[in-house]
Amino acid sequence: MRWPRLTQNLQFSSKTVTHVCHFLTCRKMEDTNDNHKRQRRAPSTEAAEWCARWCLLPSTTTHRPASKVEWDNTKLKCFLPSEELDDEDFMRHLVNGTDVRRAAQFYPLIFDEPGPPASQNVWLRSLPFLRQLVQANENEKDGDVLAAYRSSSPEQRRLTGLGLRDLYFAATHNLLREEDKKLLEEVVNSVDEAAGCTQIQGMTVSFYPSANFKMLKFVEGLDTLLPQPGWTPYFAQVLDTPRLFAVFVDPAELSFHNFENIVPLDEWVEAELARRQPDNSPLLSLSLNGITQLRSDRDVWTAKLCGEDLATDLIHQISHLDLYVTPLNKTTRGGERFIFHSSLLSKAISDAVVASDLLSQFSACPSDFAFVNYVFRCNRFQPGDANFAAHRDTPYYDGARSQVSKYTLLIYLTSGSNKGGALQVDDARLTDMEEFTCVIFDQKYEHEGRPFVDTDKVFLRTELVFRDYGLAKNPEIASLFSEACYMTGQSVFNTTLDAYAHECFERANSLHWALQQKATQLAVYLCKQFQGFRFLTNGYNYWFSRRHHYSGTKLEEDDDDDDYLMDCALIAVLDYLNCKLDLDHRGKKKPFRALCQTKTLHLETPLSNSDDTFQLLLSQWQENDTSISPRDETSPLPHHPPPPKFIRLLDSDISSLFKQSPGPGTSTFTGRPNPWTDSDADSDSEDINDGCCPLHCWKTFDAWTSDDVREKYSFFCELTRKRLFGVPVLLLGRELVLNRGQVQIVGDKILFQHGAGETAQRFNFAACWGEMSPSVFVDVDREVPAPKLVVPPIVFHRYSHKYPHHGGNRSDSEGKSGHEKEMENGGGGGGQRGEGGIHFTLDFFRNDWMVQVDDTVTILVPVITNEVSESNLEETNDDDGDDGEYSGPFGRRVKEYLDEVGADWPEGSA
Ligand SMILES: O=C(O)CCC(=O)C(=O)O
Ligand SMILES: [Fe+2]
């Protein structure tokens, strides 16, 4: 079939339609066994109309009243309210694909044929169209098909995305034939990924999978977070309570804070309990029975989790939720899993643990038991899946509360066996599991899991958390753990790092139990370049060589050195957090690590000497080095001339953002038409031309010349100025600009500070404006993004090229981290040989700092405007009320922002 034109309504011959009907009839016969599962039943004698797979649309052409739409509810997910289910007309359009407004709540809709005549909506999401796209992508000859797709409107491309989205969900629910699965694999690389992308919580998300956006995540209340409310139908809903939606993200954007997708399920648990026992809201009650130590010399126990059907059904039900995703580290573990949070389940199991005699059998003091971790991992392995390779579990750790997990608790939800060991903990092997068997073991043990031979193996994992005030700190653990997390993120660019990251996790987890696990792999360091800044890192340590070495600028002044220190610290933070920046000229945000050119170094021994480290750094980055690339380590490195430093924020940078007169793009004021009705004839004559206020001279009122508007404008400018000076980093004209006022060096630490910056004076304006506010004439001119760096103080150490680094003449030698001391001790006094540089330690795990990097702060810049919409005119001048100071197009946006982030209101306002 040829490609129908995208821009015209499509006409199919009656032959096509007949063929479609025939096809459906065949499918209906194939599906006969499933008929009993259908939501509704149509009289079998009636001819079917065209519609999506697994749906049946009885014909409306007969004289009898139209029968109801039916579908196979074991295949289609439906979150529609009953009013919509009862609306036959609505349902017909939904299942024949002509109405996409409820695509979020009813899917997957697979269209095997191009659709009914004149329906582009269906054609663009149909399998024949997706096939053509794949063929066109593979076959140069079909360039016109591709060109047509590329020049189609974003809305049209979103329809294709919808087709792909549904194909994906059909595949994950095991509903597809082999050829459809193949199509899915291919079409993912053929579609335009930008058409489905939007930003939520600082993350770029798409509603369909594509070449880069291939990681599935679930977001609660996405419909309320979308900047384009009209996009809601595109994102598949996966749960009603809480309202959870599926998004696809680019793993390159992930950092340690958003790697794991923890689905909040307490609301769901509550709703399920209420649904099952509506009268007296029931407690989730469980007990742990038959506790048996597997061997007297091993801290491994088995038990059975028991409870009323209500409780055990509910746990089963959790494991049937459609939330499974393939883990990122799939080379070391098979199966699928999802992570959820439930305090209610944690409480029920904690009570069961306390009521049992399990704790008395532990070497850890029973009175120190705190709770069962409320974060659960639900795993599903099918027969034939890869093993869960030997590993130690990463303990729960909350330094602030001195809480740490000591035992793992596995709850098996299906029965099955594997003679090779369904679970092997150290040298204790369990081959057969009964439903609700629990295995509890000391987290010091290495263990391995194998799928059951002929059934799915489904289990929950959590940990028993204890209070322990005597925990010793071991910087090596912090370093290895940080390295493991960082290298997991980097493995998106270089898949060989996956195994290295795994080993780092294993070594860190062993060290918690004072078990030294030797490294079997070469130490990995990444040499990176960003805008001429070059550095070496393993995700915990960051080294920057001295600037003068490559810029030719000799650094003498301490001040200059501090400047360089701030720049380097900024880079280290941006890299560690993988902040997203909008630096290219296409206005597209990219994660920092994708903006760096990276070279992976494998070293026989870990770096332990500062001179060697800086020498190594300087020996890299030869011109024409082809082993470095921003994304995939294969493309050549363009030589980047180093800039002296990041731009510093100056008062003039900010002043220049505020226009003092109508600038380019603002037309000169020529007067405006009378907005009042013709019948209001008097208004013309009342246009007193003294320019006092728009009420008295609407047609000739030029906002730029009004003192009242200018006063309001100054108020907004001042507010904006304070906000701009209140952040450490800004993006101005695609340049990273560092604000020295918000970066502080204190001893051996560097601090990035976010000030409130939003104190403003009360604003009063002259009287005769009546109900109107001058703020209606102040609009948003532009938005200045500022990466939000809410991070703990960063420890640094300078290695001077002038002084031996173990000399006593440096004031900044106090408070060094263990690693620095190590480096110095091993340095052999070679400080004068080396060029020196700066070393940072980034450890955001060790303390209880909440790292918030989800969003970029957007600071709005005001401008006076003469273009006032009617709706703005209706705003009142309610300065005494809550929102008086924040009215008008600019004021409203600022207010929305302040409300959203929960920022304090500037003094003098509400
Ligand atoms: O596959 C298994 O039974 C073991 C699972 C496990 O070790 C884990 O979830 O951490
Ligand atoms: Fe484990």
Quick one: pLDDT at residue 274? Answer: 86
**Within-domain flag for 588:** yes
Give the mutation target among 461, 462, 464 for probing the ligand 1 site: most ligand atoms within 8 A of CB: 461
Nearest protein Cα to ligand 1, atom 8 = 461
Q: Give the residue, 785 or 329, on which the prediction is more confident.
A: 785
How far is the centre of ligand 2, averaged over its atoms, from the C-alpha of 463 (Å)? Answer: 10
Measuring from each residue's beta carbon to the nearest atom of ligand 1, which residues come in under 6 Å? 377, 379, 388, 393, 410, 423, 447, 449, 459, 461
Nearest protein Cα to ligand 1, atom 1 = 449
How far is the centre of ligand 2, averaged over its atoms, from the C-alpha of 255 (Å)? Answer: 23
**Nearest alpha-carbon partner for 822 in 609, 665, 672, 624:** 609
For 271-287, write each residue's pLDDT tens digit.
998 888 767 656 789 99
Residues 572 and 701 placed together within one structural domain of the fold: no
The share of the chain scoring above pLDDT 90, in percent, equals: 33
Give the mean pLDDT of 813-841. 49
Residues 444 and 491 placed together within one structural domain of the fold: no
Res. 702 pLDDT band, cuts 50 70 90: confident
Provide the domain limits for residue 487.
476-647
Of the given ranges (232-241, 557-566, 595-604, 845-854), which has the lowest mean pLDDT? Answer: 845-854
Give the mutation target among 340, 376, 377, 379 for probing the ligand 1 site: most ligand atoms within 8 A of CB: 379
For 602-613, write each residue's pLDDT tens digit.
999 888 888 888
Q: Which ligand is nearest to the CA of 379?
A: 1
Residues 703 and 630 placed together within one structural domain of the fold: no
354 pLDDT more than 90: yes
Nearest protein Cα to ligand 1, atom 10 = 393
Q: Which ligand is nearest to the CA of 452?
A: 1
Distance CA 310, CA 320 (A): 15
Residues 571 and 678 placed together within one structural domain of the fold: no
How far is the centre of ligand 1, averaged over its atoms, from the C-alpha of 497 (Å)? Answer: 23
Q: Which residues contact 726 (CB under 8 A, 6 or more apart)?
A: 742, 754, 755, 756, 757, 758
Please answer whether residues 289 and 303 qualify as being in contact, where contact means their C-beta atoms are separated by less than 8 angstroms: yes
Q: Which of 647, 673, 703 is the last residue of a domain?
A: 647
Q: CA angle at residue 399 from 393 to 400, to 5 degrees? A: 145
Question: What's the mean per-residue pLDDT of the chain?
Answer: 77
ipTM of the complex as predicted: 0.99
Quick one: pLDDT at residue 475? Answer: 78
How far is the centre of ligand 2, averaged over its atoms, from the C-alpha of 329 (Å)? Answer: 14
Q: Which ligand is nearest to the CA of 439?
A: 1
**Within-domain flag for 826:** no
How far is the centre of ligand 2, averaged over its atoms, from the C-alpha of 392 (Å)? Answer: 6
- Distance of CA 113 to CAs 7, 12, 22, 37, 438, Å? 19, 11, 11, 24, 50
Nearest atom of ligand 1 to the alpha carbon of 393: 10
Domain count, the chain: 4
Quick one: pLDDT at residue 784? Answer: 78
Give the mutation target among 300, 302, 373, 388 for probing the ligand 1 site: most ligand atoms within 8 A of CB: 388
Res. 871 pLDDT band, cuts 50 70 90: low
Residues 653 and 544 placed together within one structural domain of the fold: no
Res. 364 pLDDT band, cuts 50 70 90: low
Nearest atom of ligand 1 to the alpha carbon of 335: 1
Token pair of 239 as six digits: 């749960």
Name residue 397's beta-bridge partners.
404
Res. 375 pLDDT band, cuts 50 70 90: very high
The most confident of 64-73, 310-319, 544-553, by mean pLDDT: 310-319
How far is the centre of ligand 2, averaged over its atoms, from the C-alpha of 405 (Å)? Answer: 13
Q: Which SS3 state, helix, strand or coil, does residue 40 take?
A: coil
Q: Which of 647, 675, 697 is the last residue of a domain?
A: 647
How far is the centre of ligand 2, averaged over its atoms, from the C-alpha of 396 (Å)? Answer: 13
Quick one: pLDDT at residue 43? Answer: 38
Nearest atom of ligand 1 to the alpha carbon of 423: 3
Question: Which CATH number is 379's domain given?
Answer: 2.60.120.620
Distance CA 322, CA 11 (A): 38
Nearest protein Cα to ligand 1, atom 6 = 449
Residues 669 and 690 placed together within one structural domain of the fold: yes
Res. 473 pLDDT band, cuts 50 70 90: confident
The share of the chain scoring above pLDDT 70, in percent, equals: 72
Positive or negative torsion for Cα 271, 275, 279, 283: negative
For 157-206, write each residue's pLDDT tens digit.
999 999 999 999 999 888 999 999 999 999 998 899 899 999 887 788 99
**Within-domain flag for 386:** yes
Res. 862 pLDDT band, cuts 50 70 90: confident
**Within-domain flag for 25:** yes
Res. 780 pLDDT band, cuts 50 70 90: confident
How far is the centre of ligand 2, averaged over its atoms, from the C-alpha of 398 (Å)? Answer: 20
**Within-domain flag for 724:** yes
Quick one: pLDDT at residue 306? Answer: 97
Quick one: pLDDT at residue 873? Answer: 64
Residues 326 and 450 placed together within one structural domain of the fold: yes
Nearest atom of ligand 1 to the alpha carbon of 412: 3
Of the given ranges (357-361, 529-533, 696-700), which has the lowest mean pLDDT? Answer: 696-700
Res. 802 pLDDT band, cuts 50 70 90: very low
Nearest atom of ligand 1 to the alpha carbon of 387: 1
348 pLDDT more than 60: yes
Nearest atom of ligand 1 to the alpha carbon of 439: 3
433 pLDDT more than 90: yes
For 67-110, write each residue's pLDDT tens digit.
688 999 999 999 999 999 999 889 999 998 989 999 999 999 99
Residues 89 and 168 placed together within one structural domain of the fold: yes
Q: Which of 169, 192, 215 is the last residue of a domain?
A: 192
How far is the centre of ligand 2, averaged over its atoms, from the C-alpha of 118 (Å)? Answer: 55
Residues 694 and 766 placed together within one structural domain of the fold: yes
Nearest atom of ligand 1 to the alpha carbon of 461: 9
How far is the centre of ligand 2, averaged over its atoms, from the C-alpha of 391 (Å)? Answer: 6
Res. 258 pLDDT band, cuts 50 70 90: low
Nearest atom of ligand 1 to the alpha carbon of 408: 10
Quick one: pLDDT at residue 102? Answer: 93
Q: Give the helix/strand (H/E) hosting 313.
A: helix 309-319
Distance CA 61, CA 654 (A): 68
Nearest atom of ligand 1 to the alpha carbon of 447: 7
Residues 459 and 484 placed together within one structural domain of the fold: no
Per-chain residues with Cβ under 5 A from ion ligand 2: 393
Nearest protein Cα to ligand 1, atom 2 = 449
336 pLDDT more than 70: yes
411 pLDDT more than 50: yes
Give the mean pLDDT of 582-607. 81
Q: CA angle at residue 664 from 658 to 665, to 5 degrees? A: 105
Quick one: pLDDT at residue 143? Answer: 67
How far is the centre of ligand 1, averaged over its atoms, from the C-alpha of 44 (Å)? Answer: 49
Quick one: pLDDT at residue 361? Answer: 92
801 pLDDT more than 60: no
- Distance of CA 654 to CAs 527, 648, 684, 737, 789, Å? 35, 11, 41, 11, 20
Token pair of 431 as six digits: 């081959």
Q: Which ligand is nearest to the CA of 429?
A: 1
Nearest atom of ligand 1 to the alpha carbon of 422: 3
Quick one: pLDDT at residue 12? Answer: 27
Strands, E assignment, 633-742: 647-648, 729-732, 735-738
Quick one: pLDDT at residue 845? Answer: 62
Of the given ranges (3-7, 138-142, 425-429), which has the lowest mean pLDDT? Answer: 3-7
**Within-domain flag for 320:** yes
How far is the centre of ligand 2, averaged over its atoms, from the C-alpha of 394 (Å)? Answer: 8
Q: Which ligand is nearest to the CA of 459?
A: 1
- Distance of CA 465 to CAs 182, 216, 373, 395, 420, Å? 45, 30, 6, 9, 31
How far is the centre of ligand 2, averaged over its atoms, from the C-alpha of 440 (Å)? Answer: 11
**Within-domain flag for 239:** no
Nearest protein Cα to ligand 1, atom 5 = 449
For 109-156, write each residue's pLDDT tens digit.
999 988 766 678 889 999 999 999 998 888 766 667 788 888 889 999
Q: Which residues contact 881 (CB under 8 A, 6 or more apart)?
A: 910
Residues 582 and 690 placed together within one structural domain of the fold: no
Token pair of 572 as six digits: 């280290």
Quick one: pLDDT at residue 17? Answer: 28
**Nearest alpha-carbon partner for 344 in 315, 384, 378:** 315
Residues 598 and 660 placed together within one structural domain of the fold: no
Nearest atom of ligand 1 to the alpha carbon of 450: 1
Strands, E assignment, 676-755: 729-732, 735-738, 743-746, 749-752
Nearest protein Cα to ligand 1, atom 4 = 449
For 885-908, write each residue's pLDDT tens digit.
677 888 888 777 766 655 554 443
How far is the centre of ligand 1, averaged over its atoms, from the C-alpha of 465 (Å)? Answer: 18
Give the mean pLDDT of 244-251. 92
Through-space distance between the first and last CA atoms of the chain, rounded to whole angstroms: 64
Distance CA 98, CA 121 (A): 6
- Distance of CA 572 to CAs 293, 639, 684, 789, 837, Å? 48, 21, 64, 11, 14
Nearest protein Cα to ligand 1, atom 3 = 449
Of the given ranges (7-16, 132-141, 478-487), which has the lowest mean pLDDT? Answer: 7-16
Nearest protein Cα to ligand 1, atom 9 = 461
**Within-domain flag for 207:** no
325 pLDDT more than 60: yes
How far is the centre of ligand 1, averaged over its atoms, from the C-alpha of 388 (Å)? Answer: 6
Q: Give the residue, 734 or 137, on which the prediction is more confident.
A: 137
How far is the centre of ligand 2, averaged over its atoms, from the C-alpha of 655 (Å)? Answer: 57
